[in-house]
Amino acid sequence: MKIVTVIGARPQFIKAAVVSGKLCRVGKEILVHTGQHYDRNMSDIFFEELGLTPPDYHLGVGAGSHARQTADIMTGTEEILLKEKPDFALVYGDTNSTLAAALAASKLLIPIIHIEAGLRSFNRAMPEEQNRILTDHISSILFCPTDTAVANLAEENIKSNVYQVGDVMCDAVLCYADQVRHMDSACFKEKLACLFPWKGDLSRWYLATVHRAENTGDICQIGTVLEALEELDAPVIFPVHPRIRAYVERLHKECGYRNLCFVEPLGYLEMLFFISGSIKVITDSGGLQKEAFILQKNVVTLRKQTEWVETLAGNHNILCSIRKEDIIHAIYDTDITLEFDQNVFGDGNAAERICKVLCTLSDGKRKFFE
């Protein structure tokens, strides 16, 4: 079996790192990097840290409007698919790279494997929600991380070739968090000392990130989040996504925040270290919400909905609007009512199960476009 895998954004590098290593048992994988994320800290660092093989093709599409980015990825992927003639195209998640590659494959009648299928926020204004729905509806094999995702697909009448295998991101967290625990913590401590130059208490911090389009469109929203974080009772480590870099620089110049440690986007291992040691995580990222939950940290999510509804049980994840008082209240005044449900995202063997299913397909020569 020959599979062309298309990835392009930060979370996809992490997911591919756990799946790609195992795919060689199923067949030959050709890896395509679309270049949607291209800064070193948003891309190369993940290949190096997680041992992901360098891509066979790099489309170098870079930044652009949604249509431009999607179109460039489609044409680039189409060329590769025509040349490689794979049995399947494999995509992850909900980014523009996911949808564009899926569309290119679908038109060439190449069956699509979608990993992380069935997630829904039920907010069609989100580009990611549009990408998810469209990709699921043209996919042939759908690997869901949770029972909720399977139920969401059933509601949309997608019922065949749907497999609940657990979450590949959970595989990654469990595997690499263990690695981080066994690493010499000196390198992380050094980083902490640089982050907290006032040499205060280096043992307590919050971790915060913001990058979603709905929260980053105007500088006032980002300013509100930063104002709330500035008032917290411990420093806040804030890796700055390139999407908001210019706004953060401007606000910092005007307001001179003293409680916020702005850093370049962190590598995955550093991120796991900083989540594990944090008091709480404040974010609008889908992946980070879940990583925190798996590492048993409470989260405040700066959104109206979450696809990962399982994290809401027991108030481990609180959804919060972008209002200063609401953010501070959500961080301080939430009663946790339940223990963390350890297994809700799987047992760390999702990639293994995916490969088992794919092995049965390669034996069976099924037809997907009839």
Inter-residue contact 125 to 151 (CB < 8 Å): no
For residue 20, give Cα distances in angstroms to 110, 279, 366. Answer: 19, 33, 23
**Pairing between strand 281-283 and 299-301?**
parallel
Which one, 27 or 242, has the nearer CB to ligand UD1? 242
Which one, 93 or 223, has the nearer CB to ligand UD1? 93
Beta-bridge mates of residue 32: 6, 57
Beta-bridge mates of residue 164: 144
Which one, 63 or 187, has the nearer CB to ligand UD1? 63
For residue 99, the minimal CB distance to ligand UD1 (Å) is 8
- What's the CA gap between 173 and 276, in Å, rounded? 11
Which one, 63 or 220, has the nearer CB to ligand UD1? 63
Which one, 9 or 351, has the nearer CB to ligand UD1? 9
- What's the CA gap between 16 and 162, in Å, rounded? 20
- What's the CA gap between 22 and 354, in Å, rounded? 9
For residue 138, the minimal CB distance to ligand UD1 (Å) is 17
Whose tokens are 């809700």? That residue is: 344
Inter-residue contact 79 to 108 (CB < 8 Å): no
Which residues bind to ligand UD1, rule: CB under 6 A?
9-11, 36-39, 42, 63, 94-96, 127-128, 211, 242-243
DSSP 181-221: HHS-THHHHHHHHHH-TT---TT--EEEE---HHHHSSHHH
Which one, 132 or 353, has the nearer CB to ligand UD1? 132
For residue 33, the minimal CB distance to ligand UD1 (Å) is 12
Q: Known catalytic residues?
A: 211
Whose tokens are 């595989």? That residue is: 171
Q: Return the H-helix or E-strand segment holding 320.
A: none
For residue 214, the minimal CB distance to ligand UD1 (Å) is 11
For residue 126, the minimal CB distance to ligand UD1 (Å) is 8
Inter-residue contact 20 to 52 (CB < 8 Å): yes
Residue among 213, 96, 94, 89 at smallest CA distance from 145: 94
Q: What are phi and psi of 319, to 5 degrees?
A: -80, 140
For residue 242, the minimal CB distance to ligand UD1 (Å) is 3
- What's the CA gap between 339 and 330, in Å, rounded? 19
